[in-house]
């Protein structure tokens, strides 16, 4: 009897936030194992016999990849890949897959929700009413959105959907992205600008960049100093794109008028995080992708790629195409049996 191939989840015994399709996985020769690993050492030990690794927030680095000789591929349950050491995975012949095309609407909706909540001081207004205070003018100053400038840092799929929504509110939209040219932005009613110009012009800045070495900490003290006094920052991308110490300082000084954050540098944050004490900040628990429809889409695409690995096929969303050329690629599809 052929040995079952382990499909491993190491981030809790309950499994991911959507169901893995054990019937389809079993039909392809796999068996699901959900474990709770408290640290990297535990994760390395658990992954030793894994064939497919399913990951969300777990850090997948060189020691794990080197210690898992049966590992053919992993699937990241989301868009971003900052938790995976892709060069190491490629060197070891391990495929890396993700789901780059889900939750666009959800994240764009969340960015606009945070924008409106901060700009209209919803958190403060709600507290006033609950405490028995009914004084609308006490919430001034606030600005009319129509005519303000929204700056998008990054101009991928989600940022484009934010731009579409923002224009409906009468916002003028500018964007910076070194990988998107001006005519492509102009076709969507958006003006291209350098980051320095965007920071100086924008009343509201919304971040839509992946976390890379290039973008880590890019919104720091210099960026806050370059912003318009009283600007609003929205972040639905990755927490570590922002230097949080610089963010707190900018909010305390009044240089930054407010922030709407779905992501933080450490998640969950410490209970004494200084942002918790600020009325000008609206926080959500990295939930931008969380709708019933998005979870159904994510589950379908993750499960499909797990089954593709088990069948020896390339995953639909291969994030490290260089692995195809690796002589040591572990996926059977890389070494087709010659026809007689």
Distance, C-alpha 206 to centroid of its chain: 14
Q: What is the mean pLDDT of residues 290-315?
A: 97
Residue 270 sits in the same domain as residue 298: no
- Token pair 């916002």 is found at 171
Residue 81 sits in the same domain as residue 147: no
Split at pLDDT 50, 70, 90, the class of 4 is confident
The predicted structure's pLDDT at residue 236: 98
How many CA atoms lie within 13 Å of 233's alpha carbon, on the beta-carbon side? 34
With a pLDDT cut of 70, the percent of the chain lying above it is: 98
Question: What DSSP designation does 340 have?
Answer: -
Q: Is residue 266 predicted with pLDDT exceeding 60?
A: yes
From the candidates 43, 172, 238, 330, give the one annotated as an active-site residue.
Answer: 238
- String of b and e for 36-47 (b: at least 16 CB within 10 Å)? ebeeeeebbebb
- For the entire predicted model, the pTM comes to 0.92
Split at pLDDT 50, 70, 90, the class of 217 is very high
Alpha carbon distance 260, 249 (integer Å): 16
Residue 90 sits in the same domain as residue 179: no
- Token pair 């993750």 is found at 302
Sequence-distant (≥ 6) Cβ neighbours of residue 211 within 8 angstroms: 80, 82, 237, 238, 240, 241
Q: Is residue 152 part of a domain?
A: yes
Residue 95 sits in the same domain as residue 108: no
Q: Is residue 296 part of a domain?
A: yes
Residue 279 sits in the same domain as residue 181: yes
Q: What is the mean pLDDT of residues 259-276?
A: 97
Residue 277 sits in the same domain as residue 297: no
| C-beta of residue 300 within 8 angstroms of C-beta of residue 294 | no
Instruction: Kindly list the distances between the CA atom of residue 260 and the CA atoms of 13, 90, 199, 222, in Å, as whole numbers in the listed order.
Output: 32, 37, 17, 20
Q: What is the DSSP string of 164-206?
A: HHHHHTT-EEEEE-TTS-HHHHHTTT-EE--HHHHHHH-SEEE
pLDDT digits (tens, 9 = 90+) for 64-79: 999 999 999 999 999 9
What angle, rounded to 10 degrees, do the helices at 104-119 and 157-168 form? 50
The predicted structure's pLDDT at residue 2: 57
Q: Is residue 150 classed as helix, strand or coil in its secondary structure?
A: strand
pLDDT digits (tens, 9 = 90+) for 6-43: 999 999 999 999 999 999 999 999 999 999 999 999 99
Sequence-distant (≥ 6) Cβ neighbours of residue 59 within 8 angstroms: 40, 83
Q: What is the mean pLDDT of residues 119-133?
A: 97
Q: Is residue 339 part of a domain?
A: no
To the nearest whole number, what is the mean pLDDT of the chain? Answer: 96
| C-beta of residue 112 within 8 angstroms of C-beta of residue 162 | yes
Sequence-distant (≥ 6) Cβ neighbours of residue 60 within 8 angstroms: 53, 74, 83, 84, 85, 89
Q: Is residue 3 predicted with pLDDT exceeding 80?
A: no
Residue 19 sits in the same domain as residue 91: yes
Q: Is residue 339 predicted with pLDDT exceeding 80?
A: no
Sequence-distant (≥ 6) Cβ neighbours of residue 310 within 8 angstroms: 5, 7, 25, 28, 29, 30, 51, 52
Alpha carbon distance 325, 126 (integer Å): 57
Q: Is residue 15 part of a domain?
A: yes
Ranking 116-130, 219-233, 292-306, 324-338 by mean pLDDT, the lowest is: 324-338
User: What domain range is 308 assigned to?
Assistant: 5-102+292-334
Residue 199 sits in the same domain as residue 229: yes
Residue 149 sits in the same domain as residue 138: yes
Q: Answer with the one of 243, 258, 283 that is the final residue of a domain.
A: 283
The predicted structure's pLDDT at residue 333: 86
pLDDT digits (tens, 9 = 90+) for 229-262: 999 999 999 999 999 999 999 999 999 999 999 9
Closest CA to 62 of 98, 38, 80, 86: 86
Alpha carbon distance 41, 48 (integer Å): 11
Residue 127 sits in the same domain as residue 266: yes
Residue 129 sits in the same domain as residue 233: yes
Q: Is residue 297 predicted with pLDDT exceeding 80?
A: yes
From the candidates 62, 196, 267, 293, give the one annotated as an active-site residue.
Answer: 267
Q: Answer with the one of 247, 262, 283 that is the final residue of a domain.
A: 283
Q: Is residue 251 part of a domain?
A: yes
Q: Is residue 228 part of a domain?
A: yes
Q: Is residue 340 part of a domain?
A: no
Q: Is residue 34 part of a domain?
A: yes
Q: Is residue 5 predicted with pLDDT exceeding 50?
A: yes
Q: Is 286 a catalytic residue?
A: yes
Angle at 273 between CA 268 and CA 277, to 5 degrees: 125
Residue 78 sits in the same domain as residue 111: no
CATH of the domain at 191: 3.40.50.720
Q: What is the DSSP string of 279-310?
A: TTEEE--S-TT-SHHHHHHHHHHHHHHHHHHH
Question: What DSSP designation does 232 have?
Answer: E
Cis peptide before 34 (omega within 30 of 0): no
Split at pLDDT 50, 70, 90, the class of 334 is confident
Q: Is 267 a catalytic residue?
A: yes
The total domain count for the chain is 2
Q: Is residue 1 predicted with pLDDT exceeding 60?
A: no
């Amino acid at each position: 009897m052929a040995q079952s191939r382990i499909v491993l989840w190491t981030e809790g015994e309950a499994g991911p936030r959507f169901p893995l399709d054990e019937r389809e996985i079993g039909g392809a020769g796999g068996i699901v194992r959900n474990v709770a690993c408290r640290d990297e050492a535990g994760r390395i030990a658990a992954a030793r016999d894994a064939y497919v690794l399913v990951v969300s927030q777990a850090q997948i680095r060189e020691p794990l990849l080197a210690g898992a000789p049966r590992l053919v591929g992993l699937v990241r349950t989301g868009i971003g890949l900052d938790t995976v050491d892709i060069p190491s995975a490629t060197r070891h012949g391990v495929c890396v897959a993700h789901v780059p095309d889900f939750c666009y609407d959800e994240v764009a909706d969340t960015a606009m929700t945070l924008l409106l909540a901060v700009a209209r001081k919803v958190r403060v207004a709600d507290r006033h009413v609950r405490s028995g205070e009914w004084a609308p003018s006490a919430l001034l100053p606030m600005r009319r959105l129509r005519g303000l400038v929204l700056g998008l840092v990054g101009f991928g799929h989600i940022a484009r959907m934010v731009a579409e929504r923002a224009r409906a509110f009468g916002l003028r939209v500018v964007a910076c992205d070194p990988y998107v040219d001006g005519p492509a932005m102009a076709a969507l009613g958006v003006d291209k600008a350098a980051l320095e110009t965007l920071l100086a012009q924008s009343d509201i800045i919304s971040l839509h960049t992946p976390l890379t070495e290039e973008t880590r900490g890019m919104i720091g003290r210099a960026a806050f100093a370059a912003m318009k006094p009283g600007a609003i920052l929205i972040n639905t991308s990755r927490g570590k794109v922002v230097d949080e110490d610089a963010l707190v300082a900018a909010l305390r000084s009044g240089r930054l008028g407010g922030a709407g954050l779905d992501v933080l540098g450490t998640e969950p944050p410490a209970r004494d995080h200084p942002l918790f004490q600020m009325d000008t900040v609206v926080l959500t628990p990295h939930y931008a992708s969380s709708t019933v429809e998005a979870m159904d889409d994510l589950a379908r695409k993750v499960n499909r790629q797990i089954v593709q690995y088990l069948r020896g096929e390339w995953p639909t969303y291969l994030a490290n195409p260089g692995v195809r050329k690796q002589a040591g690629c572990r996926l059977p599809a890389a070494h087709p049996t010659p026809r007689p």
